[in-house]
Structure 1
Amino acid sequence: MIKKLRRKFIIINMSLIFIVLMAVFSVLCFSSYQKYENDNMNALRHSLEDNRLGTNETKFEFGKDRIGRGEKSPFNLVPVFVVTLNDDNTIASITGGNQSTVTEDLASEAVAAALETGERRGNLKSLSLRFLIDNTSDFTRIAFADTTHESSSMRSLILTSLLILAGSMAAFFIISLFLAKWALTPVERAWDQQNQFIADASHELKTPLTVILANLKILLSHKEETISNQFRWIENTHTEASRMKKLVENLLFLARSESNTVPAAVNTFNLSDAVWSCLLPFESVAFEQGVTLNESVTPGLSMLGDEGQIKQLTAILLDNACKYAGKEKKVTVILEQVQEKACLSVNNTGDAIPPGELSHLFERFYRSDKSRARTEGGYGLGLSIAQTIVKKHKGRIHAESSAQSGTTFIVWLPLNAADSRKQKEIRQLNS
């Protein structure tokens, strides 16, 4: 799919470039042709006027674009000769051209071709001439301009344009290959992540489903047994179904967050109270696990956002810290104000996470300690959900880990501006 998308990108890009370049060169060639034509017509008109006044002294070699020394007009850069006709359209005189080159036969052929068109002006491509007829009551004059230089210049311009077009298309093709690879790299990464996400989700859903089906098979094979005798299999089925339900809910939350369809109850709430409301239930959880829970929460901090999601964020970090508290089994939660932001840090004394794995902690289904993933009951979605919540509240989250201090997750969230200033003033008074 990515290859097709890259190929389509290149084709569309090259097509647009080709159209633009063709339009530019077409306008350039057309404007040049118009300029040559206008210059020729001006030269023809000027020659007719000079001929009428008897001042046309221009001499040139026809077909070689050579101007004679008798040039008096700026328009005589274009080789022109004028033929005066009798009443029966026979040639009376030829002026303006070199008589050794502009013969009477050539002039007669040009006059016949010009009169045959029935137009007052036109182009005789077979003779490389452009003409203009001047009819009066006394005489008829036809001015002819040599278009040999014009044709040569236009051919040269078109050839040059085609060469530039070919070179430009080759250069832009190479650039398009690079741009396609560069522009589609995020798409390719997202595609790979999506495929990995589907594979991981399928695997995680397959495990509880397998257990549920196995338990049901056992139950069906002992139809005569009572519920109390089969309670073990029923309880296992309920546990796995609950875990699968939680997994599906987490997946839906992430999917809706990406599509911006998660409803958010945005309002100003007390962040300190929200963190406290999550800490209190975890005291019993920590006690059962033998974990010492220490906290330091600055009171009165408030922010604008979804209180429910912030509580979910705090619960995820607390749950993760308690699960991996290590041998010392100590968890420390600190909420404080740093300038205009709230800093929530959750530290546990567990084993240090290798530096190479820290950047992957917030990826979906990623577990630093894969051997304990199933026993701890996690799916590797908690930290990914935590990151999603933080980003939706325009904050940032990162992890730090060392053998001495354990692992710390630090969250920065924007505070309510008014309350932030108030807390700052209170701290200044207390100090």
Structure 2
Amino acid sequence: MAWDFSTDPEFAQQLAWMRAFVDDEILPLETLDLDGPTLDRLTAPLKEEVKARGLWAAHLPPELGGQGFGQVRLALMHEILGRCAYAPAVFGNNAPDSGNAELLALGATDEQKKRWMEPLLDGRLRSAFSMTEPGAGADPTLLTTRAERVGDEYVVNGHKWFTSNGSVADFLILMAVTDPDAAPRRRASMFVVPADTPGVEILRDVPTMEHPEERFGYVGGHAEILYRDVRVPAENLVGNEGDGFLLAQQRLGPGRIHHCMRWLGQSQRAFDMLCERAVSRYTAGSLLSEKQMVQDWIATSRAEMTAARLMTLQAAWTMDQGGTAAALTEIAMIKFFGAKVLYDVIDRAIQVHGSLGFTGDLPLESMYRHARAARIYDGPDEVHKVTVARRTLRDYEPREVPSEHVPTRREEARRKFAHLLDAAAVGS
């Protein structure tokens, strides 16, 4: 199979503009201590520039307000946006809003799209994805949050956490069990739940390695939420009853590719810092760049980043050709491989900077804390490795182990090539 990751010259120019725009206009914002309203004011004109370039909300088709770029182009875009945490929001495709918009595009009614998706894409609303539960972990078939149909409403009761942006969202996309007796992947459904619905109780933003202090803020953390007799109109059901697992998979597939490309952008930034330090720092009689161990770090990092990039582009291309279902193995591979590459490259960059790399004077320590979470969210590495192994083994058939009753492979080969072996013997 041939793969084609090429882009047309016009889009290549857009990518060049994006690189300069992110580095010159967005990255400097990291040096400022900004509250939410100030960040909004500073990024508003930047968003208008992005819209004028036709790069806003590029993850959706044109009829839904996006650009219809496809996964390969999106992957190349996200690689650039990954250099700065503020960049995705400036381009209208920050998580979890981008994934929620894709989900609504797939399963929502026209009325739901008009009420929720359009203002979400326009930046007038913020959203959260409320699926993970303390007891279920990475297995959505173990969800216990219930949504029971009562007349024209569903009554929801349950406990969620790691609802990213939950504490600042205008609405939540909730996954809850509607039929506990159905097959595991048909038990759950999805609903749009306005955040101010009575019974929605935001307990806290869970302290994490990324954000060690519990907080409520403009940039939402990972909220813990209780749903106590929350009454949701039946018209807020997304898709049909039992579609929750399918919608979740369709949402997570593209999102994982976007994560992996953003990780490459972060990896490249850390790699640049590693190399700059290596050619600048003189110690023990020579530059760090002349030390063989540092050279090994540089060579290994570059090789790993190149491999992760090509794997991710292949997954994106496969999705463009056949949809998410055709790329499940590729998506699972890049999820655990890309997360490890990100973590290792940042770790080497910190090491080559010594104590400076450990301080808040450089962005590496923050990048490192973010990178550790990459091996857990959107499914832990171990789950994705199981997926790759199972899907790979489908192509293999069991074979009997040779024994005294079964001809060995050597005997089989001798019989198969007997005439050639005899001819060779005569000729010698």
Give the TM bin, normalised by the shorter chain: under 0.3
Specify which structure has the higher proportion of strand. Answer: 1
Say which structure, 1 or 2, has more relative contact order (CA 8 Å, 6+ apart). 2
Normalised to the residue count of structure 1, the TM-score between the two structures is: 0.23
Normalised to the residue count of structure 2, the TM-score between the two structures is: 0.23
